[in-house]
Structure 1
Amino acid sequence: MTGITAAAVALTVGLSACSPSSGSSSSGDVSAFTVARTGDIDKLDPQLATAFQTQQTLGLVYSSLVKTGTDGSLQPDLATAWTISPDNLTVTFTLRTGVTWHDGTPFGSADVKASLERILNQSTGAVARSNLTAITGIDAPDPATVVLHLSKPTASLLYSLASVNTSILAAKDITAGTVGKSPDGTGPFTWKQWDQGQQVVLTSNAAYYGGAPAIGTLTFRVIPDEASILSGMKAGAFQIGLISDPGIAQQAGSGGGYELVKQPTLAYHTFMLNGRRGPLQNQQVRQAIACAVDRDQVLKTAAYGDGTVTGPITSPAFPYPATEGLPCTPGDTAQAKQMLAAAGYGGGFTLDTIVETGEYASAGAEAQNLQAQLAKIGVNLQLRQLPTSPYVQAWLAADYEAAVALNGGSYDPYLMYGRYFGAGGSLSKPAGLESPKLADLLAQGNATNDEAQRKAIYGDLQKQLLAESPWIWMFRSDDYYLVKSGVQGFTARPDELLTSLAAVK
């Protein structure tokens, strides 16, 4: 694990365009601060959160044992230090003292123990459960110490514990069954209200260990149309506007009372195929679809070319050729048609395809482009457009044959795919495919701290993912932030979290 930490410190994922604080004057009063975005949250339990807006919001209310910097380095959060035994089977955390829950009760090791046990309890349905299954025991010998016992070395463990999905909850709330009903965290902002479909309101936590945020009231306003977000920024109605449409970003530019910040992300745009349904159970059919898709064309059409064609692994420390492993040249429709015919589907077929509306702007354009491309080989995409919450519900239930999706990336490849394709993965159902080869490669990569071995293993994992084609990986895009002139302290992140709002002045 120590090798992983050292590698992460060296990662560089920088901002392009200007920094929001460069050349800015003091913003003055930020006691009332509004962030405009197109989508709403969908739940109040951080351990169950999958939607980006939900993770962004609850990541400000709850804390984890550790956190990551913008460069991917591991940093203290509720734990101030940690030590790993020589055999990599025991991890001991020293907890921060003097921390209180938002209701004023003290935080301690019993909360950490209860939170991790809740994640490991299969009935919880926690998103990160499969990332923590190596934990065989949790000791809390005193209020400031937690000891994790592992069944095997787990290189990704610390990064797993830095996730919003491994947020620490109050033991009292777990016992009372109030988690997901009334958020009570230790983070920089406290929960105030949620008007569904309209706004979420948070307030500054005066007792936050990092110091009370200058933002007194933080409002996340739901503005369904990104053009309206741009208009609101021009009118001075918002302090920050979150934009995913590169066309709107091009219109926005900088000036006129705000600055445009562009941030490359770890997230990736993908076309998921449910390998448990119909023709998609045949690997050659999935490969044919993967071969038919011209990824560069999707990028240019849906994102104005503002991004990078990618393979499955987007972790900066693990770069690999984007399409090595496919049995073809992407975009070769003639070869794709031959492959479909050889698989017995020369006459084509229809795929029920879910498309999300509201969370990111390019989904519809991606779907239409894929629909046009795949029609050339006789595969008809029947598009089913759904708002964020119904989309997530359909996806979790694997109620789809294909899905246009935007997935969060990670600094650690195991965390990207262990929960989908690892043995006992917590999201194996919506992933749409069980593969012993993928599960074995994931287990191998997570069991060693040797960087050279991990790079070789994860290189094989990328090739195997492309060969089995459970999904078609298309591109990594940029996030755009419209930041009101004078706002200081906001830093865009590759993982799309908004934790720097706690430092805004």
Structure 2
Amino acid sequence: MTNLMKSLGLALALAGAMAGTALAQPSEVRIGVALEPPILDPTAGAAEAIDIVVYQNIFEGLTRIDQNGEVQPGLAREWTISPDQLTYTFKLAEGVTFHDGTAFDAEDVKFTFERILAEDSVNAHKEFFTPITAMTVIDPLTVEMTLDHVVGRFLFDLGRGDAVIVAPESADNNANEPIGTGPFAFVQWNKGSRVVLEAYGPYWGEPVHLSKATYVFISDTSTMTNALLAGDVDGTNNFATEALGVFEGNPQYQILVGTTEGETILGTNNRKPPFDNLKVRQAMAHALDRQAIIDGATYGYGTPIGAPFAPHNPYYVDLTGTYPHDVEKAKALLAEAGFPDGFSATLKLPPVAYARLSGQIIASQFAEVGIKLELINMEFAQWLDEVYTNNDFDLTIISHVEPFDIGNYANPDYYFGYDNPQFQALITELNGTTDEARRKELAVEAQTILANDAVNGYLFELAQTGVWNAKLTGMWQNSPIEGLVLRDIRWTE
């Protein structure tokens, strides 16, 4: 054998060994999710299940929201805001293509927002973008948006799934065959079973670690547990808290416990006596033992809150000490309000476990101070009709999962009927401010007003409880926005 052949043989052997090593390191992930999305176009549907699959994976926006809830550059690499805060000029990333090979440019941005604002738009949050009065393409990589009034959270809204950029060539088919600019391209959707994505080779941004991701739809907790234990799936982003004990202490798995945007409240009809009386609401706040509710309703995995704001939000302030659990103080406040013997009320509960379990615990806690609750279990359609739409309720329990929805408290027609002109003026200023330091100051003040007014009983933030293979890293612990972002997930040794 010649030296050349020997060298060639050695090179081939080394290449084969290296290939074998590479193959031994997995680059695919299978993720179990509870709900199958109805469609795969996040600009045409409200279901969180859509964003779980596609947000920041298949589709991208001008900005993106990171796992701390903060705005980061997306397809817009930088931007400037005019002195009157009404005109935004975005400089777009270069060399971006959609997954069908068509080029991304400013015309696609213009098309996307004209589609959102069209009369026949089915965008779930069209109202976030109605302040846009003009879209101007300056050049292929520069686009200008003009607003009719200042919107303090505009850059955040541009980072939602509702505002991802789509192309005119493919937008009509995105419901079933989504084509975006993200790091993963759609491969197939076996309805009722799974969605398969693969890493997009020409991706314009930082390369991802995974070559393939499969979302497997498993709605039953027992089936999900068995799939995790058997290795049929490598993880799930939100596992049932009552079954987490199966994985605790098992070195093959890791449990990631974080927060979501789900502020769970004892919703109170502020427009209806006796709940229009501040002392009554304060008495109820003192009667609540949050930790007992968390232990009983979430198996200890909820995070106490004292106002309607997620603990992972940079504007959050801890107000859980505003009305500490104090039975005697609650009784005294009820007496001052004219109810020395308490009163009776109804508690209408939607068909979710955290609400039904919390309702039973709260009924017991309220009984200690003389408030007698009748628990009324409802189907969700009935709850939406009676409680949310027609305001026919005394008390209810629900989680509000929309990011940064404190502005609902400025609407006196919203279902809990809080009408405070001072608070409304504060939210108007917050919405019209882009300075981050001032926005945080206003958000803290807004939270404090709601806590002091005991508008609702603030119970806990729903936890995100992920169960993952111990060799995986890069999953989001918290969920500040709808989605299960794949870009940082990788296998380790």
What is the TM-score normalised by the length of structure 2? 0.77
1:473 alignment partner in structure 2: 458
1:234 alignment partner in structure 2: 229
Q: What aligned pairs does 1:302-381 form with structure 2 within 5 A after superposition? A: 302-310=297-305, 311-314=307-310, 316-323=313-320, 334=331, 338=335, 347-356=343-352, 362-374=354-366, 377-381=371-375
Cα distance between partner residues in 1 of 2:104 and 2:448: 45
Count of aligned positions: 459
Is contact 1:268-1:475 (8 Å) kept? yes
Q: 456-465 or 114-123: which moved more? A: 114-123
1:16 alignment partner in structure 2: none
Rg comparison, structure with higher value: 2
Secondary structure of the residue aligned to 1:61 is coil
CA deviation digits over 1:382-433, x for unaligned, max 9? 12255xx9988998867874553333475xxxx3323x34569xxx756765
Cα distance between partner residues in 1 of 2:385 and 2:53: 19
Is contact 2:31-2:215 (8 Å) kept? yes
Offset of residue 216 of structure 1: 2.2
1:4 alignment partner in structure 2: none
Secondary structure of the residue aligned to 2:237 is strand
1:145 counterpart letter in structure 2 = T
Change in 2 beyond 3 A, CA 1:313/1:219 = closer
1:141 alignment partner in structure 2: 138
Change in 2 beyond 3 A, CA 1:397/1:481 = same
Q: What aligned pairs does 1:186-205 form with structure 2 within 5 A after superposition? A: 186-191=181-186, 192-193=188-189, 195-196=191-192, 198-205=193-200
Is contact 1:291-1:336 (8 Å) kept? no
2:9 alignment partner in structure 1: none
2:308 counterpart letter in structure 1 = P
Cα distance between partner residues in 2 of 1:434 and 1:329: 26
Q: What aligned pairs does 1:149-298 form with structure 2 within 5 A after superposition? A: 149-172=146-169, 176=172, 178=173, 180=175, 182-191=177-186, 192-193=188-189, 195-196=191-192, 198-210=193-205, 211=207, 214-225=210-221, 227-265=222-260, 267-273=262-268, 282=276, 289-298=284-293
Offset of residue 57 of structure 1: 1.8
Calculate percent identity across the aligned residue pairs: 23
2:472 counterpart letter in structure 1 = V
Offset of residue 467 of structure 1: 5.0
2:138 counterpart letter in structure 1 = P
Cα distance between partner residues in 1 of 2:269 and 2:169: 40
Cα distance between partner residues in 1 of 2:332 and 2:117: 46
Cα distance between partner residues in 2 of 1:395 and 1:457: 30
Is contact 1:93-1:146 (8 Å) kept? yes
What is the TM-score normalised by the length of structure 1? 0.75
Q: What aligned pairs does 1:58-97 form with structure 2 within 5 A after superposition? A: 58-59=54-55, 60-97=57-94
Change in 2 beyond 3 A, CA 1:112/1:404 = farther
1:416 alignment partner in structure 2: 405
Matched, 1:504 2:490: yes
Offset of residue 145 of structure 1: 1.5
Cα distance between partner residues in 1 of 2:96 and 2:344: 60
2:400 alignment partner in structure 1: 407
Cα distance between partner residues in 2 of 1:431 and 1:122: 31
Question: Of the candidates 427, 432, 445, which is equivalent to residue 460 of structure 1?
Answer: 445
Cα distance between partner residues in 2 of 1:126 and 1:396: 21
RMSD of aligned residue pairs (Cα, Å): 4.0
Is contact 1:215-1:504 (8 Å) kept? no
Cα distance between partner residues in 2 of 1:205 and 1:254: 37
Offset of residue 133 of structure 1: 4.4
Change in 2 beyond 3 A, CA 1:341/1:116 = farther
Change in 2 beyond 3 A, CA 1:208/1:275 = farther
Is contact 1:263-1:493 (8 Å) kept? yes
1:46 alignment partner in structure 2: 42
1:476 counterpart letter in structure 2 = E
Offset of residue 303 of structure 1: 2.8
Cα distance between partner residues in 1 of 2:119 and 2:267: 25
Cα distance between partner residues in 2 of 1:431 and 1:29: 50
Offset of residue 235 of structure 1: 1.9
Change in 2 beyond 3 A, CA 1:259/1:289 = same
CA deviation digits over 1:131-162, x for unaligned, max 9? 44443322122332211123344332212211
2:406 counterpart letter in structure 1 = Y
1:8 alignment partner in structure 2: none
Cα distance between partner residues in 1 of 2:384 and 2:180: 25
1:301 alignment partner in structure 2: 296
Offset of residue 173 of structure 1: 5.3
Change in 2 beyond 3 A, CA 1:110/1:323 = same
Cα distance between partner residues in 1 of 2:387 and 2:41: 18
Secondary structure of the residue aligned to 2:352 is strand
Q: List alignment gaps of at least 5 residues for structure 1.
A: 1-24
Cα distance between partner residues in 2 of 1:261 and 1:136: 43
